[in-house]
Amino acid sequence: MVRAFVSGLLLTGLFAWQTPSPQPPSNMSIERLDPALDRLIDPTAKIEVIGEGYTWSEGPVWVKSGGYLLFSDIPNNVIHRYKQGEGVREYLKPSGYTGKEPRGGEVGSNGLTVDAQGALVLAQHGDRRIARMDAPLAKPQPAFVTLAARYQGKRFNSPNDLVFKSNGDLYFTDPAYGLEKQWEDPAREIPFAGVYRRRPTGEVTLMTGDMTRPNGIAFSPDERRIYVAQSDPKAAIWRVFDLKPDGTFGDSRVLFDATSMAASRRGLPDGLKIDAEGNLWATGPGGVLILTPEGKHLGTIMTGQATANCAFGDDGRMLYMTADDYLMRVKLKVRGARF
C-alpha cells in the first residue's frame, strides 16, 4: 500500500519558566492510510508543540471547569498544567510518591482523571495505589485519599491508567512499570498484571489477569465495550472486551495487532481515548494510531517520539498528546466521546 504523508508544524506559546520556545521534532507528520481519515482530521491540520523538557510526559486529562490540561511527568514526580496564553506551569509535587525514603524507578503519577464530584483521581506509581487528591482542583495540594491499594491483601504493582464508568465504577490497569526493577522487582506481591474494577463502595474486583502488560484503558461511547492496550513488544495489541450487564468482562478479541509495526517504529500500545463515533485514538508505534471500532487502521499522527497518552480538550476537538519529553496537540474534526 502506498502511504501518503501530510506534514505540518506550528509552535505556540511560551513557558513561564522555560526559554527558548519549544522546538519541534523534525519528523512530525500525519500518515493517511484511508480517505476516511479526512472526516476526522482535516488534511491541512498542523501538529503543534506546546511544551518540552520533561523526562517522560504521561496521563493527560482536560479539566473543563478550568479550561486547562493536566499531565504527569512520571520520573520527576510532578503534574504540570497547560493553559492557553499561560503555557506550562508546575501544578502538583509530589504527585505519585509521598514516601520519605528516596527511591528510584518511575515514582510519579501516571494516568489522571476527574471524578463526577470534580476531584482529581490519580494512578500513583510510587505509592502503588489509586488515590484522590484531597484538595480542590483550583488549589492543589499533595494530600491524598487512598481509593484502592491492594487486591486480596496484596499491594498492587503500580497502577497505570484508569477510567470511570458513568455509574461511578473505576476501571484501572496494573503493570509493573513503576517498580524500581519493574517485572523483576522483589517487592512485587501480585505475580500478574491485572485489570481491576473499584466500585463506589470500595470493593476491588479482578476483571482479567490474562494480559501480559495491560496499559491504557477506555470505554466505547455506549459503555458496552472496553478497550485495553497491551504494551508488550512481543504482543503489541489492543484488546476489546464485551461488558456483561454486571460490568464484568465478557468475551474478548484482539482489535488490532501492531507487533510488526513496533519492530520499526518507536513506541508501544499505551494510553488511548475514544471519539464520539467510537474510533480509537491510541498511542502506539509511531505516535497516535486512529482505529475504527472494527479495528481498521485509518492513519497515524506521527509524533517522531515514543508517545505515551492523549486526551481530548478545548472544545472537545483538540487532541493533546504526551510524547516523551514533549507536549503536543492537533485540531480534529471529530469530538471526544467523554469530553
Rg (CA), the chain: 18
Tell me how far apart the alpha carbons of residues 258 and 275 are, in angstroms, rounded to a whole number: 21
Residue 176 belongs to some domain of the structure: yes
CA distances from residue 198 to 92, 151, 222, 252 in whole angstroms, order as listed: 25, 10, 20, 21
Q: Indicate the pTM of the whole model.
A: 0.93
Identify the helix (H) or strand (E) that includes residue 89.
strand 87-92
Q: Among the residues of the chain, which ranges form H helices? A: 259-262
Q: What is the pLDDT of residue 26?
A: 72
Which CATH number fits the domain that encloses residue 128? 2.120.10.30
Q: Is residue 290 part of a domain?
A: yes
Residue 339 forms part of a structural domain? no
Residue for cell digits 500525519? Answer: 30
CB contact at 8 A, 58 and 71: yes
In a domain, 183, yes or no: yes
Distance CA 235, CA 254 (A): 10
> Looking at the chain, how many residues does it have?
339
Query: Hey, what's the cell of 193?
Result: 498484571
Q: What are the beta bridge partners of residue 323?
A: 307, 326
Structural domain contains residue 84: yes
Residue whose cell numbers read 519528523:
27
38-88 per-position pLDDT tens digit: 999 999 999 999 999 999 999 999 999 999 999 999 999 999 999 999 999
Residue 52's pLDDT is 96
Q: Which residues are within 8 A (CB) of 19 and not within 5 positions of it... i.e. 6 or more apart?
A: none
**pLDDT value, residue 339:** 84
Low-confidence ranges of the chain (pLDDT < 70): 1-24
Report if residue 260 sits inside a domain. Answer: yes
Beta carbons within 8 Å of 14's beta carbon, 6+ residues apart = 21, 87
Instruction: Residue 158: count other Cβ atoms within 10 Å of its Cβ.
Output: 29
User: CB atoms < 10 A from the CB of 117, how many?
Assistant: 8
Cα distances from 266 to residues 44, 199, 242, 269, in angstroms, run: 25, 36, 30, 10
Contact 217, 226 (CB under 8 A): yes
Residue pointed to by grid coordinates 470511570? 164
Query: Residue 117 falls within a domain, yes or no?
Result: yes
Q: How many domains does the chain have?
A: 1
Task: Examine residue 91 and state whether it is found in any structural domain, yes or no.
Answer: yes
Bridge partners of 281, per DSSP, are 273, 290
Identify the burial level of 311 via C-beta atoms within 10 angstroms of its C-beta, where 0-12 means exposed, 13-18 middle and 19 or more buried.
Answer: buried
Other CB atoms within 10 Å distance of the CB of residue 135: 15
Instruction: Locate 138 and state its grid cell.
Output: 483550583
**Containing structural domain, residue 32:** 4-331
Please report, for residues 101, 113, 269, the alpha-carbon distance to residue 196 in angstroms, rounded to integers and kept in the order given: 29, 16, 19
The set of residues, in sequence order, having a beta carbon less than 8 Å from that of 220 and lying 6+ positions away, is 226, 227, 274, 278, 293, 337
Beta carbons of 133 and 119 less than 8 angstroms apart:
yes
CA angle 308, 192, 285 (to 5 degrees): 25
